[in-house]
Copies of this chain bind each other. A is one copy, B any other.
């Protein structure tokens, strides 16, 4: 049986001491973000995730979803837990107050999202997909669509989905076949098959609102010809309640490695009524509104499994007696010491811990840019926030989910053979986490997105901003002797990243294969540099906290210890990433395809 405790104190520290969140009180949505209110929200979020979501995590995995005649039954307790969640107003936390939301900052929503997925990934994915639908409609839909659908989606009465993938096309949406034909009444009729649709069908809400990408007649047969449509499961009647059943049904659900509690559906559209969201042929723009938010959300999911499995591994490591400390017996009155005395067990725990805390800070810093890009009064400042967000979203989507999976595995490893047994719950974290490397763009795509689009965009403006932000931090604190042990490694990481950038600029021109071949190495270098920056900011805050003599001194001391671990044991990866990057594409393109 696993346990979960939401990292409220760490989040409070990040909001207060790292993001300085309360400086933005003049921005819309930030008026209510006092430390007290944010703490209260975090503590209430902790309660619902620890007490309502988490107890259903293992049972939801064991039971899974059942499909019969197009209907999906979710695991026992899911419907009631979801009701508790929406009754608590959680579904509309960050949504537009005009349609019933609470309009709180996005960054706070992402913190709550971490708790939800850590507690129960399968269950969290039902409201999780709704968030993307809300954001897409808020940004692109007509007022009529907004008025009809947003209040129900925001209250959580109805849920949402996102339909891109088809059997023949995942990454390459040019190949999409789903067609939308315009009716005389201005609506459309959609026909086609979508697969891997998370929460596509279930018994948790009265209606399900599908956002579907399709091609319309007369448009180009590629990405430029796609539009976004809203297709409800039940067409709302005059009173706005679910009415006539629409021509969309769930053909089957997938048997998956993990997230068994969530339904992954094949959705069949047969002359289904749909409404255009935004403009014709602008489907990808609208879809990217959903996808960018979803990608930030998925990047955090990598943290979730590493965090939840870390907590359980730490408990096990303190309790399991096995062997003796190499530096002398620690547990005189027992036949063995707890395994947490062994340096290699601590290496595994510290690695996950340093990742979780560093990644959480980095994710929330990037999430704050979502708010700032929209709400800052100064245009240049909004552009800066947007640039950082665009640049770093693919970086953390791939890096956090790859590393999160790796460390979820090491946390399972701490249980030895017991970790391989279903009942301890550790292998479920591994199976559930595995999807995060795949969905919202398989991780390799994010490497390409980074080096092919985000890095060269606007003459490299975003990367320059990122590096100058770090450089100015270094310059500000260069004379702080206590920071030297952190600033040194950060400078080294920046140097490696700059060498890599130079290499890319020099070699991408020779062959585009070089950039693609080294894209994941480059992504890792940027991720480590960003992580080193966040650990610097956290170390600084901890040093300041210690100087003040106030607050949780043990917390500050432990932050410094973990910061040192990151520099000593994790950041050195940059050495091999740079070396590999510089070897280019030749060694991987030389083999003939038929010889693999």
Q: How far is the CB of A131 from chain B (nearest CB, A)?
A: 21
For A171, give its contact among B323, B579, B589 (CB under 8 Å): B323
**A427–B438 CA distance with the chains assembled, in angstroms:** 12
Is there contact, CB below 8 Å, between B585 and A568? no
What residues on B are CB-neighbors of A170 within 8 Å?
322, 416-417
Q: Measured between C-beta atoms, what is the minimum distance from A551 to chain B in Å?
A: 16
Query: Is A154 in contact with chain B by the CB < 8 A criterion?
Result: no
Q: Given the complex, which residues of B lie within 8 Å of A422, measured CB to CB?
A: 254-257
The answer to whether B343 and A596 touch across the interface, beta carbons within 8 angstroms, is no
Interface residues of A in 175-193 (CB under 8 A from B): 175
| Cα–Cα distance between A444 and B416 once the two chains are bound (Å) | 10
A174 touches B513 (CB 8 A): no
Stoichiometry (number of copies) = 2
A318 pairs with B594, CB closer than 8 A: yes
Which of B344, B439, B573 sits near A516, CB closer than 8 Å? Answer: B344
**Residue A550 at the chain B interface, CB threshold 8 Å:** no
**Chain B residues positioned under 8 Å from A587 (CB to CB):** 350, 561, 564-565, 568-569
The reply on A14 being an interface residue by CB < 8 A is: no
- Is A420 at the interface (CB under 8 A from chain B)? yes
Interface size class of A (residues with CB under 8 A): 35 or more
What is the minimal beta-carbon distance from A408 to any residue of chain B, in angstroms?
11
Closest residue on chain B to residue A585 by CB atoms: B343
Report whether A438 and B421 are in contact in the complex, using a CB–CB cutoff of 8 Å: no
Stretch at the interface among A203-211, A236-244, A333-341: A333-341
Query: Chain A at the B interface: mostly helix, strand, loop or mixed?
Result: helix
From A65-73, A288-296, A429-437, give the one contacting chain B: A429-437
Name A420's contact: one of B344, B435, B569 (CB within 8 Å).
Answer: B435
Assess the B196–A417 pair: CB atoms within 8 A: yes
Is A342 part of the binding interface, using a Cβ–Cβ cutoff of 8 Å? yes
Interface string of A563-583 (1 = CB under 8 A from B): 011001100111110011001
> Separation in Å of the A226 CB from the closest CB of chain B?
15
A327 close to B (CB within 8 Å): yes
A321 and B167 CA atoms in complex are apart in Å by: 11
Contact A254 B583 (CB under 8 A): no
Flag whether A345 is at the interface (Cβ < 8 A). Answer: yes
CA of A32 to CA of B215, assembled, Å: 67
Q: Hey, which bits of chain A sit against chain B, CB under 8 A? A: 165, 168-172, 174-175, 195-196, 254-258, 314, 317-318, 321-323, 326-327, 335-336, 338, 340-350, 353, 405, 409, 412-413, 416-417, 419-423, 427, 430-431, 434-435, 437-439, 442-444, 447-448, 452, 511-513, 515-517, 519-520, 554, 558, 561-562, 564-565, 568-569, 572-576, 579-580, 583, 585, 587-591, 593-596
Given contacts A170-B417, A417-B442, A427-B434, list 14 more A-B pairs with CB under 8 A. A171-B322, A175-B322, A175-B335, A196-B417, A317-B596, A326-B513, A344-B520, A347-B588, A427-B431, A431-B431, A564-B587, A568-B583, A569-B583, A574-B576
What are 13 pairs between A and B in contact, CB < 8 Å? Answer: A257-B431, A327-B513, A338-B593, A343-B517, A344-B516, A344-B520, A431-B431, A558-B595, A561-B590, A564-B587, A565-B587, A569-B587, A572-B583
